[in-house]
């Protein structure tokens, strides 16, 4: 366990420490873990000169929009599959999960053609819709299992008291299923934040690029120094790591409970 933790954390810690080292220390033949002095110039250069402030904002907008949209759709879909009986329910439930297992590369060309027809190429909206179609199926599957654990009696009691079906869902079911909803939101956010393939196909202009696209493009730029490269990696990965650590309890319990039952 310790060895696994070290293997996972070592590259991240090394990247962050390198991002705040002076250039001379980075290229010094004597390797050092802790920088002798902290130098913020690499992070400042990546953020301002390499336009990472724009890329960060694009990633934040696309990821948040994707997470909100996908979670909202998944709540309705998961609730319907867990509460209502209709013909083909089992087939539809299995089909939802199978869609998630389809390799993203197979969806790339159809999405490019569809978004081209809708004039949504090179837009945040187009990228959000593309990533959402990949995030929604798994999210529906997770929330279906989570809603199935909520006793239907509490909904029936709310309806008897005069609440509508939507009112019972909003006031009774959602608060109980909050861990699963938070986990689903985080899953969709991280999936959109890490997306590279859809962005590579849909986004063309520099002003619309997200962080993964920018890192991939600048990695081949010989004018980018090692310190700047580590700074770019830090800006891209550290925020999502802190987000996961902050909501770790919801993420683990939500995905585990939702995927095991229902």
94-113, pLDDT tens digit by residue?
Answer: 787 788 788 888 888 899 99
- What the chain holds in terms of domains, given with CATH numbers, is 1-39 (no CATH), 50-260 (1.10.3720.10)
DSSP 172: I
pLDDT of residue 254: 55
Structure-derived torsion over alpha carbons of residues 102, 216, 205, 19, reported in degrees to the nearest 10 = 130
Q: DSSP state, 262?
A: -
- Residue 42: CB atoms within 10 Å: 24
CA distance 209 to 180: 31
What is the rounded CA–CA span in Å between residue 232 and residue 47?
Answer: 8
Predicted model pTM = 0.87
| Banded pLDDT at 21 (limits 50, 70, 90) | very high
CB 174 within 8 A of CB 121: no
The pLDDT of residue 261 is 46
Mean pLDDT calculated for residue range 176-199: 91
Say how far apart CA 190 and CA 43 lie, in whole Å. 22
The answer on pLDDT for 258 being more than 70 is no
Q: Tell me if 182 sits within 8 A of 247, measured CB to CB.
A: yes
Tokens 């991240």, located at residue:
12
In this structure, what token pair is assigned to residue 86?
A: 């209709």
Look at 70-74, 209-213, 224-228, 244-248 and tell me which has the smallest mean pLDDT: 244-248
> Who's near 89: CB < 8 A, 6+ residues apart?
81
Kindly indicate the confidence band of residue 251, based on its pLDDT and cuts at 50, 70 and 90. Answer: low
What is the rounded distance in angstroms from the CA atom of residue 69 to the CA atom of residue 185? 9
CA angle 204, 210, 216 (to 5 degrees): 80
Cα 154 → chain centroid: 32
For the record, the structure tokens of 148 come out as 């199935």
């Amino acid at each position: 366990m310790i060895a696994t933790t070290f293997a996972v954390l070592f590259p991240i810690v090394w990247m962050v420490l390198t991002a705040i080292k002076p250039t001379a220390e980075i290229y010094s033949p004597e390797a050092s873990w802790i920088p002798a002095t902290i130098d913020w110039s690499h992070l400042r250069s990546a953020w301002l000169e390499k336009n990472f402030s724009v890329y960060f904002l694009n990633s934040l907008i696309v990821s948040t929009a994707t997470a909100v949209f996908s979670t909202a759709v998944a709540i309705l879909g998961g609730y319907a599959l867990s509460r209502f009986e209709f013909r083909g329910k089992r087939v539809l439930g299995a089909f939802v999960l199978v869609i998630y297992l389809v390799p993203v590369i197979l969806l790339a060309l159809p999405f490019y053609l569809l978004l081209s027809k809708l004039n949504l190429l090179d837009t945040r909206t187009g990228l959000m819709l593309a990533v959402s179609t990949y995030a929604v199926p798994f999210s529906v599957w997770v929330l279906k299992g989570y809603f199935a654990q909520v006793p239907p009696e509490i909904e029936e009691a709310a309806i008897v008291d005069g609440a509508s079906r939507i009112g019972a869902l909003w006031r009774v079911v959602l608060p109980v299923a909050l861990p699963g909803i938070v986990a689903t939101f985080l899953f969709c956010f991280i999936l959109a934040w890490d997306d590279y393939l859809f962005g590579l196909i849909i986004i063309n202009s520099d002003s619309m690029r997200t962080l993964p696209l920018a890192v991939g493009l600048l990695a081949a730029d010989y004018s980018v120094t090692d310190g700047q490269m580590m700074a770019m990696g830090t800006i891209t990965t550290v925020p999502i790591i802190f987000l996961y650590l902050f909501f770790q309890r919801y993420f683990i319990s939500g995905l585990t409970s939702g995927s095991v039952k229902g």
